[in-house]
Amino acid sequence: MAEDREPLLRVRGLTAGFGAGPVLFGVDLDLHAGELVALIGANGAGKSTLLGVLSGLLPATSGSVVFDGRNVTNWRPERLVGAGLVHVPQGRRLFASLSVERNLRLGAYRRRDREVEADLGRVIGYFPALADKLRRDAGTLSGGEQQMVAIGRGLMARPRLLMIDEPSLGLAPNVVERVIDVAQTINRDGTSILLVEQDVLVALEAADRGYVLENGRVILGGRADDLARNPDVRRAYLGV
């Protein structure tokens, strides 16, 4: 069982915030190699802040982040990417005036191995809609295609853990379904995933386990199907 192994990611007592005060309060979270874990909660709960701390974009004020057996608390983002911890941010954040191919290749900017071309082909295999758009400026793509590029750029870094923040934001339901299906395929192919998703039902259907973040604190955690049946979760996030 995954729970019997040392987690790939272990977060303990994590506190972080901005000038106005803390946003996260003593967050504990585990993710084992091979898992797809969903992080759910209302807007403003601290989900994106947590990903920002895990990826080195925001400082932790206390607590620890251990990744692959190493304490990586407050490492710089590029060092974390090199260690295999990669963040696909909310809002895509592509270089709109650069081509799709250039955006994808930027994900491999730290790599010096000879597998970059093969990985580019692998990304196109996941997202065949991009195959005939590699020379187009990324800013000319649809929202769904831009999300594909953002995830593909993350994959080009060869992550052990890919953290995806709100992939469904602003997308049509059929596009969301495609993006989530590909995330599950990427997970089955060996990349662990931490998924932050505003659509709670979509997130829990895709995930192995989940955590509920409320006002900067983890208030629930467990198997995704158990959380989907939890009366408090259903009332607060599913409206039933």
DSSP type of residue 4: G
Res. 18 pLDDT band, cuts 50 70 90: confident
Residue 239 has pLDDT above 70, yes or no: no
pLDDT, greater one: 3 or 1: 3
* pLDDT tens by residue, 133-175: 999 999 999 999 999 999 999 999 999 999 999 988 888 888 8
Q: What is the pLDDT of residue 106?
A: 94
Please give the pLDDT value at position 21.
Answer: 80
Please tell me the CATH code under which domain 2-238 is placed. 3.40.50.300
| Helix ranges (DSSP H) in the chain | 47-54, 77-83, 100-106, 116-126, 143-155, 173-188, 200-206, 224-229, 231-233
pLDDT band at 2 (very low <50, low <70, confident <90, very high): very low
Q: What are phi and psi of 207, to 5 degrees?
A: -90, 160
For 97, residues 6+ apart whose C-beta sits below 8 A from its C-beta are 137, 138, 139
Asked if 204 and 53 count as a contact pair (C-beta separation under 8 A), the reply is: no
State mean pLDDT over 40-61: 94
Q: What is the pLDDT of residues 192-213, one digit of tens each?
A: 999 998 889 899 999 999 999 9
Say what percent of the chain tops pLDDT 90.
78
Pair 192, 35: CB distance under 8 Å: yes
pLDDT in tens, 60-114: 999 999 999 999 999 999 999 999 999 999 877 899 999 999 999 999 988 788 8
pLDDT tens for residues 123-136? 999 999 999 999 99
227 pLDDT higher than 90 = yes
Judge whether residue 240 has pLDDT over 80: no
pLDDT at 93: 85
What is the rounded distance in angstroms from the CA atom of residue 162 to the CA atom of residue 15? 22
Q: Which pLDDT belongs to residue 61?
A: 95
pTM: 0.93
**How would residue 4 be classed by pLDDT, with cut points 50, 70 and 90?**
low
